């Protein structure tokens, strides 16, 4: 199995770029990967829920994977979302990702009319046994409609070591983070949901975060400070940008906002969502401009990166 310990720190879930026509914008992938890598994240995740994976055909999935892996090379590990309602199709997706050079795969539970622990166990064990890379278990009931208890996740991790990484997004996340960490020293818990509860998750013992955010270096600075022992510094960075974290993580608007920020930062050419997704409305764009102004980030959009002095010494702390 691949190095599961690499699934710690800050992993950025990147959006899938599209042209205004709705077609894939593969020309933007190289710049997107370079941009995210430059923010200092520990890894990137593609084809997640907000990667609009459910709106891609199989050939398009393959094209995105190939383009990302070509751009990433050996410079940064890549986790590929392989969720599917069918176990057989999830296995095909996982094998494709592994063959392309993915470090790991991310798998949500299949939507079932009656999601018993036995059925979920069979699904995860089948996929995990089909590949030799880590399987990140995505616990996000809001998108999957499936509740997985702490006891189930701990039992799954004990039975299948490849499934020891939990991307925990069942709200409220801090209590369940604490239960999982207390339940097994071998389980790796990563937060998500835009980083909104990052500090509290870290305090309960999480090992980092795997989430999307328009300014990944902010989350990098928080996580880096925390694991360097500077908890007050981590909180100071988080509190400074908590308004933007809160604003971007609005239900139904998080992806339009994030893509717009990525476009303004030069990471992607267009902020297009594939239909029926829609761009942020004019009022939301005005609100974003106001939040960026208040946090001092508006001055750094044109430069394509947040200046190190904006985040302070956190970015220089060795992880």
Higher pLDDT among residues 296 and 192, named by residue? 192
Q: Which band of pLDDT confidence, cut at 50, 70 and 90, is reported for residue 27?
A: very high
- Judged by DSSP in three states, 11 sits in strand
Per the listing, tokens 């303004």 go with 264
Q: What is the DSSP letter of 109?
A: P
Q: Which band of pLDDT confidence, cut at 50, 70 and 90, is reported for residue 318?
A: very low
Is the peptide bond preceding residue 2 cis, with omega within 30 degrees of 0? no
| Category of 101 on φ-ψ map: left (φ > 0), alpha (ψ -120 to 50) or beta | left
Whether 316 shows a pLDDT value over 90: the answer reads no
pLDDT at residue 310, as a whole number: 57
pLDDT digits (tens, 9 = 90+) for 237-270: 999 999 999 999 999 999 999 999 999 999 999 9
Whether 182 shows a pLDDT value over 80: the answer reads yes
- CATH fold of 4-316: TIM Barrel (3.20.20)
- The per-residue DSSP string of 197-259 comes to THHHHHHTT--EEEE--S-HHHHHHHHHHHHTT-HHHHHHHHHHHHHHHHHHT-TTTHHHHHH
If you average pLDDT over residues 47-76, what whole number do you get?
Answer: 96
Spell out the domain ranges in the chain: 4-316
Whether 112 shows a pLDDT value over 50: the answer reads yes
**Structure-token pair, residue 128:** 């995990």
Predicted model pTM: 0.95
Whether 317 shows a pLDDT value over 50: the answer reads no
- Half-sphere exposure of residue 149: CA atoms within 13 angstroms, side-chain side: 7
């Amino acid at each position: 199995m691949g190095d599961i310990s690499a699934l710690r720190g800050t992993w950025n879930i990147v959006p899938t770029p599209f042209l205004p026509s709705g077609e894939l914008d593969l020309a933007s992938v190289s710049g997107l990967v370079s941009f995210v890598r430059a923010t200092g994240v520990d890894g990137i995740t593609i084809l997640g829920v907000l990667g609009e994976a459910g709106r891609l055909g199989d050939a398009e999935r393959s094209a995105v994977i190939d383009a990302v892996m070509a751009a990433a090379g050996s410079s940064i590990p890549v986790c590929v979302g392989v969720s599917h309602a069918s176990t057989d199709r999830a296995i095909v997706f996982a094998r494709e990702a592994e063959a392309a050079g993915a470090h790991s795969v991310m798998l949500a539970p299949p939507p079932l009319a009656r999601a018993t622990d036995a059925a979920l166990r069979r699904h995860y064990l089948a996929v995990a046994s089909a590949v030799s890379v880590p399987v990140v278990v995505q616990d996000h009931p809001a998108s999957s409609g499936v509740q997985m208890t702490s006891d189930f996740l701990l039992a799954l991790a004990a039975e299948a070591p490849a499934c020891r990484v939990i991307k925990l997004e069942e709200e409220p996340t801090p209590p369940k983070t604490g239960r999982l960490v207390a339940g097994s020293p071998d389980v790796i818990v990563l937060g998500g949901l835009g980083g909104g509860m990052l500090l509290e998750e870290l305090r309960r013992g999480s090992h980092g975060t795997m989430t999307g955010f328009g300014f990944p270096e902010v989350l990098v600075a928080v996580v880096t400070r925390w694991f360097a022992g500077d908890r007050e510094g981590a909180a100071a960075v988080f509190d400074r940008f908590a308004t933007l974290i809160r604003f971007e993580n609005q239900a139904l608007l998080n992806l339009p906002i994030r893509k717009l920020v990525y476009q303004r930062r030069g990471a992607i050419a267009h902020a297009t969502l594939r239909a029926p997704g829609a761009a942020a409305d004019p009022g939301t764009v005005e609100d974003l401009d106001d939040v960026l102004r208040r946090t001092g980030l508006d001055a750094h959009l044109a430069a394509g990166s947040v200046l190190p002095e904006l985040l302070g010494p956190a970015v220089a702390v060795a992880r």
